[in-house]
Chains A and B, each alone.
Chain A
């Protein structure tokens, strides 16, 4: 099922041609009308005429979160007060908030992006979508609201809180889909059980559209099994407009509509593009944004991209689940290592617990990476050879994921530090 079949399945070469045309006109517009971008491009020694092919996008300077904070509230805006129709404000965890302005076209593109996305997970005008994201300055609530209305679905604008009432509404109004954070859905599931309501048996819910916080494949399996739904990842940030892209029914990464955004994955250190299929920092250029233009915006999210045609038939590239933040990155012997990769690898080894510590050191001018894991009580053998084999297996798994050698140490269960909130699993003892 497609919302705009012609665009969603257009041949890749045509899509690239379209992206190039959009990029070219965006660059000319910004060079002419945006003081901020004009200055940035001058500083980088690049003129709009230098953009001759799509790959020339990499000649353009990057933009960082701090650029938006520094331009509070609206210094980068390129729309007139007459053209602006809405503001959203993201509350930054550090420093000043970021203000995002929208023209009517910006809202339209945002809504269409979600209409395509919701259609790609099988929602139609027969569905009832409970929007349990916050409404207000946060983009989640209103974004999903208009996207779901656009495909003709019936929206329950539930917002957040009052969970028992939300569950009653879900039951009475026969909600078939819910959009919220994954942790809130887990909470709802628990509250429902306490109320004696089984979500799979007593409600019509079959789809979860989950995002705004990191979650894992393991959580997906658990929710799908426990709640009897299909759980889909949704992605977007307020700088890009809000939640914009979801996975399709194939559940293999979220489709980034190429006519809306140009996606690059770059090495966080050098800014150079990574090889196809490799992990790096998600970088986006929004090709059709009027009020707050976004060019080569470094999102700080670590992920990889698949540009192959999807099983669903869509030709637009897919960005895989976000696995970490660039700020957490370590460089070991010149190779980028993300703690999330280690966490992910360990999750697939039941013989070790999910807690771990990473110790980085430099011995004889060489970086060393030590990963300490806890032995699961069920995996304990009193034969040293078995335990050494377990260590070698964990080290082999880490090597294949990280492309760098890691030493492994076994610890007693319950002895590695536990963290509430942000984990500090890395001890870097290198002095440079």
Chain B
């Protein structure tokens, strides 16, 4: 069972809530021909954090930090959601029983089905637990992980 192939590298960007910041990010990635697969924005007053899954995270990181943005890589996981009620509860229950905390989550509509993106406090253990309980992990190509063993 290879856990590593299910670790997804998300890029996270610190952004002030000023008009045009999100557009500037999107335009820059488009110019670099980086595809945005999924993204979410978490706001907190004067600032927010933009989280995105892209097909070329390293290229995106280089471009955005070159523009002066504060960018970091974060490890997240994706769980495929069956089109039936109770799917989200099921994931939360599995992780809860394994004493793994969910830091945040957001949804991503994949080609075949919806995927729940999660940041948890123990990525590898979460993958093992979800798979052991019959959950299906999404593979999102995001290059080799630079932060092993977190």
Interface residues in chain A, defined as those with a beta carbon under 8 Å from any beta carbon in chain B: 375, 377, 380-384, 387-388, 409-415
Contacts and interface: CB of A to CB of B under 8 A. Distances in A.
B70 A384 contact: no
A410 B46 contact: yes
11 contacts: A375-B70, A380-B12, A380-B70, A382-B12, A383-B119, A384-B104, A387-B14, A387-B49, A410-B47, A412-B15, A413-B68
Interface string B10-41: 10101110000000000000000000000000
Contacts of A375: 14, 70
B104 to A, nearest CB: 7
Interface of B: 10, 12, 14-16, 42, 44-47, 49, 51, 68-70, 72, 74, 103-104, 119
A382 B46 contact: no
Given A411-B16, A412-B16, A383 B70 contact: no
A380 B44 contact: no
Interface of B is mostly: strand
Pick from A382, A388, A413 the residue with the most CB of B within 10 Å.
A382
B44 A414 contact: no
Nearest to A413: B70
A412 B68 CA distance: 8
Nearest to A376: B70
Contact of A384 (B15, B49, B69, B72): B49
A387 B16 contact: no
A359 B21 CA distance: 23
Contacts of A382: 10, 12, 49, 51, 72, 74, 119
B10, B47, B69: most-surrounded residue (chain A CB, <10 A): B47
A380 B72 contact: yes
A383 B101 CA distance: 13
Contacts of B51: 382
A402 to B, nearest CB: 21
Contacts of A384: 42, 44, 49, 104
Contacts of A414: 68
A49 B15 CA distance: 67
B47 A415 contact: no
A381 B73 CA distance: 10
Contacts of A387: 14, 44, 47, 49
Nearest to A411: B16
A412 B42 contact: no
A316 B42 CA distance: 57
A93 to B, nearest CB: 35
Contacts of B49: 382-384, 387
Nearest to B65: A377
Contacts of A377: 70
Contacts of A415: 16, 68
A388 B43 CA distance: 11
A361 B100 CA distance: 45
A94 to B, nearest CB: 38
Nearest to B49: A382
Contacts of A383: 49, 103-104, 119
A412 B14 contact: yes
B34 to A, nearest CB: 18
Interface centre among B14, B72, B104 (most CB of A within 10 A): B14
B121 to A, nearest CB: 10
Contacts of A380: 12, 14, 70, 72
Centre residue among B42, B46, B72 by max chain A CB count within 10 A: B46
Contacts of A381: 72
Contacts of B42: 384
A377 B12 CA distance: 12
Contacts of B74: 382
Nearest to A377: B70
B71 to A, nearest CB: 8
B64 to A, nearest CB: 11
A419 B1 CA distance: 57
The 6 closest A-B pairs by CB, nearest first: A382-B12, A409-B46, A380-B70, A377-B70, A384-B44, A382-B74
Nearest to A414: B68
A415 B68 CA distance: 9
